[in-house]
Every structure is written in structure tokens, then in C-alpha cells.
Structure 1
Amino acid sequence: MTTHFVRITVKNLLKKSTEGQVKRMLTPDNGIQLTGRRRDIYLACEEMDFTWDQKEIENFDSMWTEGKSIRQMGDVLDRDPDEVLILALDRIKKRKIKERPGGVLGVMA
């Protein structure tokens, strides 16, 4: 069984919902339990790991500049290529990496 930790701040919870829309109950044995309309939620890519340390980011950025494919980067970083793709999309959106020949797939695809 995989344990997932969710950081919820009261400010964000109140900003995004009203008491009637989403009720949350903290229980010592179950953590956060969702009730009401949020009970049957679907969490996309739950089995994937989207956390990266600084060294992995530096390696990714370097390989991105070299034109390595998403699959090659996944092999080097020992990560699922889909996780690498999401990292690439995040870095592009935040303007941390530039466009490159071959686009997201790279010239070595």
C-alpha cells in the first residue's frame, strides 16, 4: 500500500470551497476522509512520482539542452518517461528550459 501525503492549508481550503460543498473529517487512524460530493474522486497518475531533487533537475536540464529524448532521459534518471515528460512540461511552463530542435521529444528520439 502506498501512502500519499497531502498538504492542505486552511486558507486554501476556505478559498476553494464552502462548508456545504466539501466536508472534511480528520481521524487519527485514517488521515483525511472525504465526504459529500468529493468522496468518489479520481486521482490521475497516482502511481507516478513527480518529486525531483536538485541534482536530477540539473541532469534533466543538461540532457534537455543536449537534445536527448524523453525516453533516454528516463533511462539515465531511472524514471518513467511519463514522469520525465511532466517535468519537461513544468520546466517549459516556468520558462526554465528553452525550445530545442526536435521539440519535447528531442533530436535523439
Structure 2
Amino acid sequence: MLYIALENADFVWREEQVKEVDKLWKDGEPLDAIAKLMGRPKRDVFLLIYDRLDTGKLSRRRGSIFGQRHNQKAKGE
């Protein structure tokens, strides 16, 4: 028996969507906010971001998937 991981995931993104996710990532938006703005499940956005980081198209950032807003809340700002 075979198990297919993430069989329900949608890996298809239009170029303009990828550019928007890249911009939101660079602007420090958290994963859940990006997913909501894109109208996609967090899983699909996470996989796109993971792919973009893995291929060097995005850079790691402070706050990781939680973004800069997470860091600001943690500091009480």
C-alpha cells in the first residue's frame, strides 16, 4: 500500500499570486494573515513559502512564519 502525502494540497499558483505572497512575506505579514488575504489554506501558503525559501527566491526573516507582528506582540509593542 502507498501513502500519498498532502494529496489534498493545491500546489498550483499563478505568477501574480506568487509575487503577492513574496511581497507579504517581505513586509513581515504572518502566515495566517497571508493565507486569509490570498483566500487559501495556511497549509498551501506554507508549502509555497517553504518552496520559495528552499529555492532561494525568498530569504529567512525575523519571526519566521509568525512574521514581525509576532515579534512586536512578544515585546509588548
Interval containing the TM-score (normalised by the shorter chain): 0.7 to 0.9
The structure 1 segments of at least 4 consecutive aligned residues displaced by more than 4 Å after TM superposition are none
Aligned-residue Cα RMSD (Å) equals 1.1
Which stretches in structure 2 are left out of the alignment for 5+ residues? 71-77
Q: Distance in 2 between matches of 1:44 and 1:105?
A: 24
Structure showing greater radius of gyration is 1
Q: Compare relative contact order (CA 8 Å, sep 6+) and give the higher one, 1 or 2.
A: 2
More strand by share: 1
Distance 2:46 2:39 in 1: 13
Separation in 2 of the partners of 1:105 and 1:85?
A: 11
Task: From the two aligned structures, give the one with the greater helix fraction.
Answer: 2
Could you tell me the TM-score, scaled by structure 2's length? 0.84
Percent same amino acid among aligned pairs?
26
**Aligned residue pairs, count:** 70
What TM-score does the superposition give when structure 1 sets the normalisation length?
A: 0.60
